[in-house]
Structure 1
Amino acid sequence: MISGVLLVGIAVAIFVGFNIGGSNTGVAFGPAVGSGAVSKLAAAGLMSVFFLLGGWTLGRRVVDTLGSGLVTGDPFTMQVSIVVLLFIGLALFAGNVFGVPASTSMTAVGAIVGLGLAIGQLRVDAVLEIVGWWLVAPVIGFWVSAVVGRYWYDRLVERMAINRTEGALVTFDTSGGIPKPELGPNTTPRELGGTLLVVAIGCYMAFSAGASNVANAVAPLVGNGAITMNQGIFLAAGATALGAFTIARRTLDTVGNDLTDLPLVAALVVATVSASIVTVLSALGVPASFVVIATMSVVGLGWGRATVADAVPDTPRVPASSMGVPVESADAPATDDSPSAAELYQPATTARVVVLQNVVPAIATVVAYVVFRYVPIV
């Protein structure tokens, strides 16, 4: 018979996974929905499948790190697990409510670090390794995106620009015995290829989200042996799917509408770079912040475009924004009020976003330390 405390722990884990599904679905499939490549329902379905795939393959390593790699001994009683999950869930909820994209992984690590400090069982070497990757990964994202923006972005725009036409992308010829797929009446091969690429990158992002975020929902429960690894992955994936099919619809509306005013190619570059870095870190068992890496990738792309504008003053530009950080692009003709190169990205806004993304995990660490140190929970 399942105890009442375990039921509470599972309910809190579902709450965390629900919020993960609500926030990550918009990030992963916003470009695809905004460009009309897939519907919200299809985006939720793809998110559910690829999130589970990422959690089932690479996510196990991150679960091991959060569940047993940061604190020695066996500190995760059910009560402690519930409190840690509440920290993570409330941080996500606050981010969704106030529009501040808090890092789930950084908040989870912060709460567990606070626990380890409070009981004197923190593995400092493991924490320092993770923090080191947190410092390096955004820099890598910045420079990779900057190189793309400086040298290859214009070529990518020429090759990947998608102009959606009326009607279905693909139709089926049913005149024979077996239906044969054909291009729609107004569809070009380039349009079909670009649309498939947008959807494929969304699936890749969903995979990376599963690899890094499944641990945030269930690592404490798996760490204390209340549920098995496989049960935890299915629980997290199911809760994420619930969020993807419900509250993510609003997120997809917001992101999709925003993306109609920004270059789709820029969003795809940032998504690919960020998802790749997060996937590699997840394979190493490092909890990674997609939000921070994506933010710095956006800044790097904008900085790379700024160097082009400085080198060639007549480079056409048009304002754009992505993931909360203003950048500029060369996807449309310049106007009389086109910004200068110095305005192609905004360091002050970038600094504000990065600071806010780091404040929440820091608060989680301090509050977790105070709670676990002075409240009789452990």
Structure 2
Amino acid sequence: MIIMYAACAVALFLAMNIGASGAAASISIAYGSGALPNRRKALLVCGIAIFAGAALGGSEVVKTIGSDIIPQSILDAKIVLIILSSAALSLFIANLMGIPLSTSEITVGSVVGVGIAYKALFINNILVIVSFWFIIPVVAFILALGAGKGIKKLEKRYPKLTSSGMRKPLSIFVIIVGFMEAFSAGMNNVANTAGPLVGAGIVTVSTGVIVGGLFIAAGAIFMGGRVLQTNGKNITSFSLLEGGAISGTGATLVILASIFGLPVPLTQVTSSAIIGIGAAQRGSAIFKERVITKILKVWIVSPVLSLVLSYGLVKLFVHADIYTLFVLFGVCTATLGTLSLAKTIKEDSRNYFENSGGI
């Protein structure tokens, strides 16, 4: 009973942190563009949209996380606690290191780690989920690129679109699509906290999406100010139409994915849409930005980090296999050492050539 209560507590803690990070960022374009200039009102709109999305459309992704990745027979209170703790710990470690992880990816990674420990995975379902982690951001880029080029032509042909007289209707448009993006965040992200609990039979689907959605919304409203401020400052180079295109692209794709029960990374979808708009503005020069490399690293690091944590916790606390931990520690140490060595070699090589030691 204590373990069950602990699992529920960790789920609610994770929900609050999801709301404070990725979910709060979903309204940042409306806030940063000035369509919703008041931070408190922007977060309130975000919270309402998140809760509505979770309550009305979060059930399909919850079922996927709870029963379509590993057999439900594996899930009990202890395993659920391990899954949720791995996801929460991954987020915590990432926050310390300043790495923006996808909550959907770390939750799926945590569940997969448990499945690997038990040698029980629905491989076909996992391949479908992972493939869409790449397909949907690519589609977001293409759609945003097309929208960006279309907007450039429209603004050139009709200069009135950029005039102060059009600001109010365009602001309303941006607020609406921002609401829909936050709605999509609620639909997709509530599964990260409710899915394992539902799969283990600890809560029902309806209770999971309502309570989970409520806590994600609360996290966005009361703790999302810093993320909103940071993300809002990063979008000032976009016009209102371009900002609306970014939010609209992300919202549409994530809502569609949620309807089909696919947990997808909203942050990567939005980032890909931003890159698409940037490519429409600047052409291929956008691909020289370090953000591209950063996104690719996030795609890889997010699920792998939580997978390793959940696998290790199962081996330690369920199978009492302490030797596996030594192996994991050795692999992590070797990986970090190799990366550090490669960086040192690269720096030495650069210094060698800069000091005329080379050609």
CA contact (8 A) 1:281 1:287 kept: yes
Structure 2: tracts of 5 or more residues without a match: 321-359
- Cα drift, residue 230 of structure 1: 1.6
- Secondary structure, counterpart of 1:225 in structure 2: coil
1:294-322 alpha-carbon deviations (Å, 9 max, x no partner): 22222222223344xxxxxxxxxxxxxxx
Contact 1:106 1:289 in 2 (8 A): yes
The match for 2:309 is 367
1: CA distance, partners of 2:161 / 2:249: 17
Q: CA deviation at 1:348?
A: 4.2
**Range 115-124 or range 353-362, more displaced:** 353-362
Q: Does the CA-based 8 Å contact 1:62-1:212 persist in structure 2?
A: yes
Q: Is the 8 A contact 2:82 2:313 kept in 1?
A: no
Structure 1 unaligned blocks of 5 or more: 164-187, 308-341
Conserved in 2, the CA contact under 8 Å of 1:26 and 1:255?
A: no
Do the aligned residues in 2 keep the contact of 1:19 with 1:93 (CA within 8 Å)? Answer: no
Residue type of the partner of 2:264? A
Q: Which has the higher helix share?
A: 2
Counterparts of 2:193 and 2:28, CA distance in 1: 23
Partner of 2:186: 210
- Give the secondary-structure state (helix, strand or coil) at the position aligned to 1:305: helix
Q: How many residues align?
A: 317
Once the two structures are TM-superposed, the CA of residue 13 in structure 1 deviates from its matched residue by 1.0
TM-score, normalised to structure 1, is 0.77
Q: Return the match for 1:23 from 21, 24, 28.
A: 21
Q: Deviations over 1:129-154 (max 9, x none)?
A: 11121221121112112222234334
* Alignment partners' CA distance in 2, 1:153 and 1:95: 37
Amino acid at match of 1:223: G
Structure-to-structure mapping, 1:173-322, within 5 angstroms = 188=165, 190-307=166-283
Measure the CA separation in 2 of the matches of 1:260 and 1:129.
36
**For residue 321 of structure 1, what is the aligned residue in structure 2?**
none
Match of 2:135 in 1: 136
Report the residue type matching 2:151 in the other structure: W
The one-letter amino acid paired with 2:39 is K
Amino acid across the alignment from 2:145 = A
C-alpha contact 1:50 1:203 (8 A) present in aligned 2: yes
Which AA in structure 1 matches 2:31? V
So what's the TM-score if we normalise by structure 2?
A: 0.81
CA drift at 1:268: 2.4
Q: How many angstroms apart in 1 are the aligned matches of 2:135 and 2:109?
A: 18
Is 1:21–1:241's contact at 8 Å kept on the other side of the alignment?
yes
Alignment deviations for residues 303-343 of structure 1 (CA, whole Å, 9 cap, x no partner): 23344xxxxxxxxxxxxxxxxxxxxxxxxxxxxxxxxxx53
Decide which moves more: 190-199 or 206-215: 190-199
Aligned residue number for residue 34 of structure 2: 36
Q: Distance in 1 between matches of 2:113 and 2:183?
A: 29
Letter in 1 for 2:262: V
CA distance in 2, matches of 1:159, 1:201: 22
Q: Is the partner of 1:246 in helix, strand or coil?
A: helix
1:286 maps to amino acid: L
User: Which residue of structure 2 aligns with residue 311 of structure 1?
Assistant: none
The runs of at least 4 consecutive aligned structure 1 residues that moved more than 6 Å come to: none
2:44 is matched with which residue? 45
In the other structure, the counterpart of 1:324 is none
Tell me the alpha carbon deviations over residues 48-70 of structure 1, each in whole angstroms, 9 at most, x when there is no partner.
22212211232100000000111
How has the CA–CA distance of structure 1 residues 115 and 266 changed in structure 2, closer, same or farther, with 3 Å as cutoff? same
Q: Which residue is equivalent to 1:121?
A: 120
Question: What do residues 95-135 of structure 1 show as CA deviations (whole Å, max 9, x unaligned)?
Answer: 44443221111111111111111102211111111112122
Whose strand proportion is higher, 1 or 2?
Answer: 1
Give 1:279 shift. 0.9
